[in-house]
Amino acid sequence: MTDQKTQFYFEIKDLSVGFRTFEGIKPVLNIEGLRINRGETYGLVGESGAGKTVLALTILGLLPKPAGMILNGSILFDGVDLLKQSEKQMAEIYRGKRLAMIFQDPMSTLNPVFTVGQQIERVITRQEGLKGEACLKRSLELLDMVKLPDTMNLIDKYPHELSGGQRQRIIIAIALSCGAEFLIADEPTRNLDVTIQAGILKLIDELQRDFKMSVLFIGNNVSLVNIFCRNAGILYRGKLVEEGLSNCVVQNPLHPYTQTLISAIPRSKSEKLKFSKTVIKPEAENGCPYFSRCTIGKENCSMHVPMLREFRTESSAESLNDIQNPVQKAACFYAGGTI
């Protein structure tokens, strides 16, 4: 029984995170379940403010204190509840060693007063105990690994002398310097232009294959997630509203939010962009988080919170054989036309 539970490499159970405000504790994240297998990529999509970054920080135990609070739930990583680990244990065992994170804004993730080399070497010295020549050699190896040219010259530059793409590659190099098994990539391509985005994604993809890492990829672009990740989850106002194989989610969205999200992708010049006017209804205090913007919601949507339900649709046929994720899930009473 317990074996069955721990077979998931990474699992979030009933996680609920809130922020303390002067009006009391405001819940910002409510995730019933999220599972990632070893070596799998999971894409989490959501609009800004949905709680994507809060989730990433919660996993690493870096929620801003004292405002951020974990109200409930557990995050199991390789059988260990990360939320029960002390700050010291997190710093010594998990952060940087087993869990790594790439942050969203490459422009501000490197310390501006040190050269790239100093920053990489510091991490290597601490984590691997290398010094001097060996340390320099290892740093150059890492920069090679992320496919940066002219590493010998680059290593003595300050972050402000580098472009966004170069910086993001360096950040990836630092994050992966210690052979992490689980990578959280929080919008790694934000603030980068499209060609560089492609390069960075390709790099993360290759590294994921080479090192057989599990990746939690956070983004606000469904198409990117579809290309890059096996599974996808759609986060809306702190709740998972849809989950499934990423191409199923994209091709056959079940939740009305996902449907709007996907129809918002511009396809071609001939097709005129349509922005449907959203009728903003009053918020449903105890109901579906999407109620106020939903076009198909009925009265009962404002009374009960829909849970994630399993659906079997045509395009999810392929995934039916998969034991871990047999179906597509959506949290809506009227999802996919079935009730």
Binders of other proteins in range 14-73 (CB under 8 A) = 57, 60, 62
User: Binding segment for other proteins among 99-107, 139-147, 191-199, 320-328 (CB under 8 A)?
Assistant: 99-107
Q: Minimum distance from CB of 125 to other proteins (Å)?
A: 11
Distance CA 116, CA 41 (A): 29
The string of DSSP letters for 17-37 reads EEEEETTEEEEEEEEEEEEE-
Q: Is 262 in the site for other proteins (CB under 8 A)?
A: no
Pairing status of strand 68-77 against strand 182-186: unpaired
Q: Which residues contact 24 (CB under 8 A, 6 or more apart)?
A: none
Considering only 29, 171, 201, 250, the residue that binds other proteins (CB under 8 A) is 171
Instruction: Please select the residue that binds other proteins; options are 12, 28, 34, 175, rule is CB under 8 A.
Output: 175
172 binds other proteins (CB under 8 A): no
Per CB under 8 A, the segment of 17-25, 87-95, 222-230, 325-333 that binds other proteins is: 87-95
Q: Is residue 122 close enough to count as binding other proteins by CB under 8 A? A: yes
Point out which span in 10-18, 119-127, 193-201, 222-230 binds other proteins (CB under 8 A): 119-127
**Strand bridging mode 68-77 / 80-81:** antiparallel
What is the Cβ-side half-sphere exposure of residue 298, based on CA atoms within 13 angstroms?
Answer: 6
Minimum CB distance to other proteins, residue 339 (Å): 44
End-to-end CA distance of the chain, in Å?
32
Helix (H, G, I), strand (E, B) or coil at 49: coil
Q: CA quadruple 130, 106, 182, 208: dihedral positive or negative?
A: negative
Q: Is the peptide bond before 289 cis (omega within 30 degrees of 0)?
A: no
Hey, what amino acid is at 188?
A: P
Residues in the interface with other proteins (CB under 8 A) total 36
Least distance to other proteins, CB of residue 68, Å? 13
Unique residue bearing structure tokens 């690994």: 145
Q: Which of 23, 48, 84, 113 binds other proteins (CB under 8 A)?
A: 113
Backbone angles phi, psi at 254, to 5 degrees: -100, -40
Is residue 178 a contact point for other proteins (CB under 8 A)? yes
Q: Is residue 100 part of the contact set for other proteins (CB under 8 A)?
A: yes
Beta strand ranges found along 68-142 (DSSP E): 68-77, 80-81, 99-102
Closest CA to 55 of 156, 253, 187: 187
Nearer to other proteins, 122 or 293 (CB): 122
Tokens 């198409």 belong to residue: 223
Binding flag, residue 85, other proteins (CB under 8 A): no
Of the candidate spans 6-14, 155-163, 278-286, 310-318, the one that interacts with other proteins by CB under 8 A turns out to be 155-163
DSSP type of residue 264: T
Residue 110 or residue 207: which is nearer to other proteins going by CB?
Answer: 110
Say whether residue 136 binds other proteins (CB under 8 A): yes
123 sits near other proteins (criterion: CB under 8 A):
yes
Residues found near other proteins in the complex (CB under 8 A):
57, 60, 62, 91-92, 94-97, 100-101, 103, 105, 108-115, 117, 122-123, 126-127, 132-133, 136, 156-158, 171, 174-175, 178
